[in-house]
Amino acid sequence: MTVLRIVANIEATDPQAGRAFYGELLGLDLVMDHGWIVTFASEKQAPAQVSIASEGGSGTPVPQLSIEVDDVDAVYSGAKRMGLEIVYDITDEPWGVRRFYVRDPFGTIVNILAHGER
């Protein structure tokens, strides 16, 4: 048996409200829209992962989603322009990531991050 994909499902009374955050801010493509569910995706492929945590690191709350991007500073600037709630300000962490937490339109805490030089 092999896990082929892991999908995060976020409960929302108005799934369409995710278009600006997940589509515009994060640049994900809308790949499915049945009205009651919308799905955003990226062409990039990554290993399926599930993280189990007692905290989010640096004493932060555990985020419900972590999304790695190629330019965390650009996403941070976009989130600020959109007036989104920044839960944890942009920070260079001692374990080699630059990240910030933002609250999506549904109340989900999302960890937006970029790894340092690999």
Structural domains in the chain plus CATH codes: 15-43+55-115 (3.10.180.10)
Average pLDDT over residues 82-100: 98
pLDDT of residue 9: 96
Average pLDDT over residues 85-98: 98
Count CB neighbours of 43 within 10 A: 6
* pLDDT above 80: residue 117: no
At 94, list the tokens: 């001692």
> What's the whole-number average pLDDT of the chain?
96
pLDDT of residue 116: 83
Average pLDDT over residues 30-41: 97
The C-alpha atoms of residue 37 and residue 28 are separated, in whole angstroms, by 15
The model carries a pTM of 0.94
Cα angle 82, 85, 86; round to 5: 105
pLDDT band for position 66 (50/70/90)? very high
pLDDT of residue 118: 47
